[in-house]
Every structure is written in C-alpha cells, then in structure tokens.
Amino acid sequence: MIRFARPSSWALVAVIGFVALSGCADKPAATPPAKPVAQVVERAERPAAAPAAADTKPADTKPADTKPSAEAAAADAATSIASLVEKLAATTASNDRVLVIDEIGAIGQNSRPALDALLAAFADEEPRVRWHAARAVGLIGEDARSAVPKLLQLLADPDPLVVTQAAAAIARIREDDGREVIPEADAALYAAAIEPLGRTAVHADPRARRASVRALRVLTPSLEALAPIVSRHLADADPTVVIGALHTLADMGDDSVPFLLEAMKDPKARYWAEVALAELGPDAEPAVAALSEFVSNGEAEDRLQAMLTLAAIGDKASSAGPALVKALESGDTALQLPAAFALGKVKADGADEALAKAAAADEPFLAAVAAWALARIHPNDAALVEQALARLRKGLANPDADARQAAVTGLSSLADGMPPADREALAGEFVTLLTDGDPEVGRAAGAALIRLGPAAMQAIRAKLADPGVRVQLMEVIAALGATAKPAVGELVTALGDEKVRGEATVALAAIGTDAAEAAPALAALLADEKAEPGLRYAAAYALGRIGPAAVAAEPLLRGLAESDDEMMATVAVWATLRIKPGDASLFESAIPRLRRALRDDSELVRLEAAVSLGDIGPAAASAIPILELVSEDDPVKQVRQAAAEALPKIRAK
C-alpha cells in the first residue's frame, strides 16, 4: 500500500544527545532540519613565503649578509620541521604524537621533509595517530604525490576516520597538482587511485563514502565518466550498504544526479537509486524524464518507487503528468494510489478528469487521495478543498491503518488554508491518534502536530497531564522547540513526576532560552545525587540550552565539570560555557572534551560541540583538524555547517 511520505521533522528527540553520550570515545557520530547547507570543502591553508620587507635604508648601508626574508622563512621552516621530526620520533604517547603531527601539518607544503616520518606513522597502532598523519600528508600537497600508494593502502584500514582522511589526502594532493601536463608516471599514479576509491564509495561509514566520492570528483572531473565506476561497485555491494552509499550521494546535492541516473540503469541498484533521488527532492529534476519512463514501462516495484520519487521532486516534475495519469487510468490498484498521490504532489496539468473519476470511485481510500490531489492542484477552489477535507476526515476512522495514516498526512498538508479555529480543532483530532493501535499512524499524527506548529499548542497543553498520551506529546514538544514555549509551566510541573520527568527535561531543553522559568527546578534535579545519572546529564544539558538565564546554576555546573564521571564533566563544562560564554578559565578542560565530543555517535552532541568550539575562538586551535574533518565529511548537514562556521572563528587573529 502507498504511504504518504512523512516529513523529516518527525525525528523526535527521544533522548537528548548528551544523555545518549556514552563516554565521548574516539568514534564517529536531531535537530529539526535547518536551512539548506551548501557542501563545504576546506582547502589546506598554506603559509605563503613572507614578502620581502620594505627597505628604508640606502642600498649601501644594508648588511651584506642579510638573507631575503623568503629564504629566511624557508630556513626557519626547515629547522622547525627537523625539530618536529626528532620530537615525533622521541614521542610515544599517542596524544602527544597527534599534537606533533598537527604541528607538522600546520606548516603545509613546506613540511615535505617530514613526509617519511608521517608515512611511518601510518603504521601506528593508535587510529588517531594514523588519521592525523594522513591529513598532514595531504596538507603537503602535490609534493607528497609519492605517498599516494601508501594512502591507497589506508583505504583498507579498519578505522573509518583513517579511511576518510586517506581519501581526503589523495584529493588534496591531486587538487594541488596544477601542472598543465602531468607526466606519464604521475598520471598513472593518480589513475591507479580511481578503482580503490570507487570501492570505498560504498564503504559502510558515510564519512568514508563522502571523502571517496569527493576524491573521485577531483581525480576525474567528468561525472559521467565517474558514474559507471561507482555504479559497478554499487551493483556488487551488499544491499545493506547500497542504500547508505546512495544516501551519501543524495546528501551531496544535485551534483550526484548523474551518478544516480547511471545507477538506475542497473536493475540491482535501480530501486535504491530512486529512493536516493527522492531524498534530493527538487534537486533531482534532471531525473524526471527517466523516472517518467519507469512509471510507464518499469517493473512493478520500480514503477511504484518512481512515482514516489516524482512526488518528492514536486512541482518541478509536472512534466511527468501524462505518465502518471496513464498509471491512474490503468485500473491496476497497486498503481492507482501512488499515481493519484504523485499527481497531487507535482500539481500536474491535465489530470483533473482522471482524478475526478477516481474521486468518485467506490474504493474510499483511492477516492480520498484523488480528492486530496485535486485540492492540491486547485487550492483556491473552495468546493474541491472542502470535499477533500470531508473525505480525509472520514479516513481518520478507516479500519485500514494505511488509510488512517494517509488521512492524517493529507489533512495536515491542507491545513494551511483552514481558519485558525479549524486548525486547532484538527490538532485535537491528531492528539487522539497519537496512541493509535498502529505505530505508523501515531507517528504520522505526531508529524502532523509538528507541522501545525502554534495551532497545535492548545490541544497539546490540554492533554499534557493525560498519562495515556503525555509521553508522546512531550516528544512532539521536543521537536517543536521554542514554538512550544506556552507549555513551559506544564513541563515544570511534570519535572516533579518521576514517570515523565526525563521526557519533560528533554522538552525543556529543546525549548531552550524560552524555558528560563524552569532553571530552578532543573538545577534542583541536577543537584539531586540520588537521581539517575542520565537524568542529571539531561538536566545539565537543559540548563546549558537555557543559557545565561540559568546563571544561578553556574557554580553547581562548574563544580561538576571536575567530576570523575567523564560524561557529567563533559556536559557540565559545555553547559557552563553556554551560560558564561567566553569564560577563559574553562577552556583548558573544555577543549579536549569538546574535541572528543566531535567524534560521538550522536549528531546533536557533535553539533553542540562544534558550535561551542567556535564560540571559544582562537584558543580552540587544537580542534582545527577534527573540525576540518567534520566540516567536510560528517554525515549530517547541520553538523557540517556548524563545524564550517566554527573554523573561521577559531582561525581569526
């Protein structure tokens, strides 16, 4: 059965990121979607040779043995590198080795004399040392091209960060090689990297996939030439990996469309390519013609997914109207529902007659979807909109769970045109469906409440004390964030209920600065040493989200920042920085913890850590390598954006 697509905002924060943090180990990593983010690719910064100083003395008074400043800079760099190489050889502690390697990397192209020492570090047993070494090799640029074979070997490393930085280093080396004519030996060196990078493009880790695809783009500028390479590996990969690889491509924006179009040619990869194109939405417009062809002539599963993908593309797929109308009129019940849905989403011209006929059909689910599609195409036709609303309201009581879910989503998508009172009444109906016997219907109802926004608050507040639905409502509030400010009073009351105070704490954290009145109750919860650790972590996080208005809790948090509990110390130091931003006395303990947090599984933890490091500014320079990695290859756009915005703040002089 066709299911209306639920909005991505139904990524409810069941457990706030810092609560989920399990120790900030060296490992990779939701907030509601933010504004679209362009891909950020940080080029290695290279220190230019110092310009010659202006000579204000007569020529004959200038000391004869004074070196030009560029030569002096080169000599100083050589001395510095030699010293760092010796220091690296004498250092055994992994943290210290990482710091030395980063010092070498900061020198940039002039660190070529350290290349052998960096390559030797590829064999270090500590993954952090290996990936920092790979990064430093990439920062040397084209002068490190002899290291490409060693970097290719690192693509098989068991640690995904090592793989990621190895691929990124290959890209940096090739990108820096600006020679108009590449000698045959070097051209062969670069060519030999394409196939291994193609394999890594279907790596299980999304960061490794992103870095590999970007490296392939640098090595082979033609997307059309790259597409068959990636497609071949997609076809041979485990199906559980294929979807992740295609999602990574989709996440990289409209530049990935040629890859996905090529993948559609292979029956093994076609379905997943269509799913990935659906995630691109309007950016997948170049695929409309191919998708229309599959609607008309593909296998049943391909036809269904092609229609859903066209629906995700929306208005830009209106040219697919004839193919969708043909599917609606085919009499094939498996195709009629998705066809009617897609026609409404693309707002196709020339579909009125077919949709009107379907809206009069005996099958109530199809009739409701068709009526909804007509209302979508003609939003100013009051009669059509009213007919759709009436049919969809009846669908809320349909014994078929798919029909109820579709009715919920269809109603919420038409709610913008309703009078405020009707929107509020609709929210009340959605609240009752949160506990529907089918979990998908409940999730659709939650998504609908989120979509209604402020219009849903009255219905939410009225039921917040209802044990049967309050947990779900608090999850909805967490997704609504600051919009849910009117419910702060009820949430403060809920902090006193042991059964839901965790959910209430999460919801207050999501509301953020507008939840200032909850600060005393949250501080009391944090101070309760008998409370569950996870609950205290959440309370600390919520206080940090409230910010300066929670200043009364700052002494308590500052004390907990020295806790033997690594988790508590991390959350407390982060929260204290949010309450007293710029407090330099916290930097020494905060920066290492925040660096580790950038490698956490929770995207919210990584996001908050990146923002906090940016707020610290130049004092957080030691976090630049991991922030660069996160800005380029984190699987979540908002996290990449936060890291990219933090870097110039830290580099500022």
Q: Domain for residue 549, yes or no?
A: no
- Say if residue 637's pLDDT is above 90: no
**Residue showing tokens 């990936």:** 131
Judgement on whether residues 188 and 308 belong to the same structural domain of the protein: no
> Which residues lie closer than 8 Å to 145 by C-beta, 6 or more apart?
173, 174, 177, 186, 189
Residue 21 reports pLDDT greater than 50: no
Number of domains in the chain: 2
d(CA 455, CA 473): 14
Is residue 92 domain-shared with residue 164, that is, in the same domain?
Answer: yes
Q: Are residues 152 and 203 in the same domain?
A: yes
- 116 and 204 together in one domain: yes
Specify the CATH number for the domain of residue 141.
Answer: 1.25.10.10
Residue 254: predicted pLDDT: 66
Give pLDDT tens digits for 113-161: 999 999 999 999 999 999 999 999 999 999 999 999 999 999 999 999 9
Asked if 208 and 294 sit in the same domain, the reply is: no
226 and 204 housed in the same domain: no
Residues 6+ apart with CB under 8 A from 11: 30, 31, 32, 479
Average pLDDT over residues 335-352: 94
CA Rg, the chain, in Å?
A: 29
Do 197 and 81 lie in one domain? The reply is yes
User: Are 178 and 206 members of one domain?
Assistant: yes
| Domain presence at residue 172 | yes
CA–CA dist 485, 600 (Å, integer): 30
At 163 the pLDDT is: 97
* Residue partners of 2: CB distance under 8 A and separation at least 6: 304, 308, 337, 338, 341, 369, 402, 406
DSSP conformational letter for 362: S
For residue range 364-398, list pLDDT tens digits in order: 889 999 999 999 999 999 999 999 999 999 889 98
Q: Are 593 and 26 in contact (CB under 8 A)?
A: no
Tens digits of per-residue pLDDT, 483-516? 999 999 999 999 999 999 999 999 999 999 999 9
Residues 121 and 241 in one domain: no
In-domain check, residue 273: yes
Q: Average model confidence (pLDDT) for the chain?
A: 84
- In a shared domain, residues 145 and 269: no
- Say if residue 13's pLDDT is above 70: no
Taking only the tens place, the pLDDT of each residue in 84-123 is 999 999 999 998 999 999 999 989 999 999 999 999 999 9
pLDDT tens sequence across 236-253:
667 667 767 777 777 777
Indicate whether 275 and 141 sit together in one domain: no
**Position 532 in a domain:** no
By CB atoms closer than 10 A (0-12, 13-18, 19+), residue 55 is: exposed
pLDDT score recorded for residue 34: 30
Residues contacting residue 285 through CB under 8 Å, at least 6 positions apart: 313, 316, 317
